[in-house]
Structure 1
Amino acid sequence: MENIEKKLKKIEIDLYNLKLNFSKILSILDKNFNKEIILSLLKERGLKPVESDEMKLILPKDERFYDEYFELLGSYYFRRVLSDMIKKKEFDESFVDKLKEKWGEKAVKKYLPYIMRYEIIIKKYDKYISNYYDIDNFGDTLEWYIVKILLNEFSIPSISNVKIKGLSTGGDFDIFFLLLGKLSYLEIKSSPPNNISIEEIENFIKRVDIINPSVSILFIDTTLNIKRNIIDNMKFLLKRVNREFSEKVIRNGFYKVSKGIYVFNSKRSFKISFNYVLDDLIKEERY
C-alpha cells in the first residue's frame, strides 16, 4: 500500500511538472501569451483591466550586470539598503553610517560597492547621488523581480502592474499569475507590519472576493513578526465577512489563513516560500 502511494505521488508530481513546462512553452512561442491570457481571465470576471503606465525600474546601467543584480535582489538586506538609498536620493557618509546602524555594518559594506558598480548610486565629491532621481520607491523593481522568479524558476506565466477600472479598493494590482491555468493574485507590502493599516488588509480581502483567484498571496517584505498586526487583523476581517479563517503556521513567518490564501514575510527567500505554497497545494490535492 505504501509503495502504491509513493507511485501515485510521483505521478502527481510528474503531471504537475508537465503542466508547468507546457505553460513555459506557450510563453516562449508567444511573448504576449502571459498578458493576453491573464487579461482575458480578468475580463471573463466582468472586470475592466487597462494598460498600465510604464514601470519605473531600478537596474544596473550596464546590462552585463543584470544576472548578478538579479541574484543579489534575492537578499533581503540588499533590497533594504538599496531601497533606502533610492528614497534618500542624495546623501553623505553620515547617512551611510545610519544605514550601518539600521541594517548592519556588514551588509552595507558588502552591498554598497555593488550598488556603485552598477551606477545606481554615483559619487560626486563627498556626496552620493541616485542615478534614478525621478524614482522614489522600490515597488516596481520588487514586482519585476518577483515576476522574474515566477517565470524563470517556476515557469509560471505572470504579469505585474495591472490596473482595473471602477473598483472601490483602488485599481492598481501588483501581480497576477497563472497557476496551472488558474488565475491567482499576489500583493506585496514593503512597510513594517505596524505601518500596514487594517484598511490595507481589508482592501486585500475585498480584492480577493472581487477577483476570486485560485490562490492569493500577501507577501510582506520584512523579517519582522507579522503575527500580531497582520495575521490577527486578517482573522478579525475574514470572520467579519463570514469567511473561513484557519491559522495554519506552515513555517516561522509563513501562514495559511484560509483556503488558498497565504501570508508570509521575508524570513526566507521568496523562491523557498513559494515552494511552500506549491507543496501545501499538492497536499491539499487542489492541483
Structure 2
Amino acid sequence: MLALKVQLTLPLFYTLIMPGDITIEYIRELKQEIQSLRKRLNDLTAPLDVMLKRRAFLIHSKEPRDDLLFPDDGCVDDFYRMMKGYAFRLFLRDVIKMQGGFKTDMVTRYATRDVTEHYISFLREKGFIDQRGESFFLKKGPVKSFGETLEWFVTEIFKREFMIEATWGVKFRGRKVGGDYDVIGKIDGGLLYMEVKSSPPRQVYDREVRAFWSRVIDLCPDMAVFLMDTHLRMKDKLVPMFEKELGERYDSPPEVKRIKAELFAVEDRVFLINAKPSIEGNLETIVSYFLKRRCR
C-alpha cells in the first residue's frame, strides 16, 4: 500500500479542521478584540489606586529606580523582548554580580559564547555597559540585585500581553504587614497581587513564604501569584513550603494542587509557578484558569 505524505502549513491545517471561514487571521483578530474589551472593562471599573483605597491600602511609594536596569526610552521595546529569554535574565544576574568588571568568559555559564557575545553587544549598544580593554563594566551602580528589573518586566507583561493596569515595588502606609508588594494589578475588575522571586529555590526560605501569605490575607486580592524565575521544579521545595505554611495557619489546610507541569493552585485563586517554558506563557495559563474557575 502506498502512503501519501501530505505536508500542511499551519493556516491550511486550521482551515481544514475548523468550520466555515475560521482561519489563523480570524483567531488573531479575536484575540485583539478580547484585549480591546479587557482594556475597555478596565477603563469602566475603578482605577487601581481607588480599589486599593477601598481596602484601606494607601500607597506610600512605588516603582523604585535605585536598582532598576532600565534602558533609554528609545529601546524599551527591545529590552522587553530580550527579557523574555530565560538565558538573558540569568546572564543579567551574573552581570550584576560582576558589575565592577567582567570578561566574556566569566558570564557564559548559561549560554554559548556566541550568544553571550550577542548579549554583551546588546548591552553596549543600549548603553548599559562600558568596555575598557577586554573587560566590561556596568554603567549604573552599584545595583544590589536583579529584583527590581524583574518586577518591572513582569509588570510590563501584564500591561502589554493582558492589557492589565499594574504597578510594581509597592509599599503601603500604616499596615501591620510590611515589606514590598512586588506587583499589584487590576484583573477584570478584581485585584491581583504577585510576589516575584529572582533567586533559585534553594535561596527561598520559610519566612518569605510566610510573608507572602500574610500579605495575601491582609490585602485579600482576588488572585495572588508566587512566581519563581527558574526552570527548576516547584514540587521539590516550594510546594512543601506552601503546604507547611498552610498547615500552620489552618486546621484544615487547603490542597496545593497541580494545574499542569510546575504550576500549582490553592483554592483556584493563589498560584505557585515557575518560569518554564516562559513567564508570559505560564501567566497566560493561570490567568485563563482563574477566570474560568471564577465562573463555576
Partner amino acid, structure 2, of 1:89: Q
179-188 vs 102-111, which deviates more? 102-111
C-alpha offsets along residues 128-184 of structure 1, whole Å, 9 cap, x if unaligned?
Answer: 111112323222222121111111211111111211134444231111111111111
Q: 1:127 aligns with which of 121, 127, 135?
A: 135
Measure how far apart 1:228 and its partner are.
2.1
CA contact (8 A) 1:50 1:164 kept: yes
Match of residue 21, structure 1, among 8, 28, 39: 39
| Structure 1, unpaired ranges of 5+ | 1-12, 27-32
Deviations 1:47-96 (A, max 9, x none): 342133742331334x4332222101101111110122023212232xx3
Residue 276 (structure 2) aligns with: 267
Q: Letter of the aligned partner of 1:103 in structure 2?
A: Y
Question: Residue 209 and residue 129 in structure 1: after superposition, are their counterparts in 2 closer, same or farther (change >3 A)?
Answer: same
Distance 1:48 1:157 in 2: 17
Q: SS in structure 2 opposite 1:219? A: strand
Instruction: Give the Cα–Cα distance (whole angstroms) in 2 for the partners of residues 50 and 14 of structure 1.
Output: 35
Match of 1:282 in 2: 291
The answer to whether the 8 Å contact 1:160/1:176 transfers is yes
Residue of structure 2 equivalent to 1:105? 112
TM-score by length of 2: 0.80
Gaps of at least 5 residues in structure 2 are 1-30
| Matched-pair identity in % | 23
Provide the secondary structure at the position in 1 that maps to 2:272: strand
* Equivalent of 1:60 in 60, 71, 87: 71
Q: Does residue 156 of structure 2 align to residue 145 of structure 1?
A: no
Amino acid at match of 2:65: M
Corresponding residue of 1:88: 98
Q: Deviations over 1:193-250 (max 9, x none)?
A: 0110011001101110000000000111111122122111101111221164223222
How far the C-alpha of 1:15 sits from its partner, in A, is: 10
2:271 is paired with a residue whose SS is strand
- The correspondence for 1:39, drawn from 28, 42, 49, is 49
Cα distance in 2 for partners of 1:14, 1:53 equals 29
The one-letter amino acid of 1:45's match is R
Match of residue 248 from structure 1: 257
Q: Shift in Å at residue 22 of structure 1? A: 0.8
- 2:62 and 2:244 map into 1 onto residues whose CA distance is 33
Task: Give 1 or 2 for the bigger CA radius of gyration.
Answer: 2
State the 1:18 CA deviation: 6.4
CA distance in 1: counterparts of 2:156 and 2:127, whole angstroms: 22
More helix by share: 1
CA–CA distance in structure 2, aligned partners of residues 194 and 168 of structure 1: 28
1:10 alignment counterpart: none
Aligned match of 1:164:
172
Report the count of equivalent residues: 263
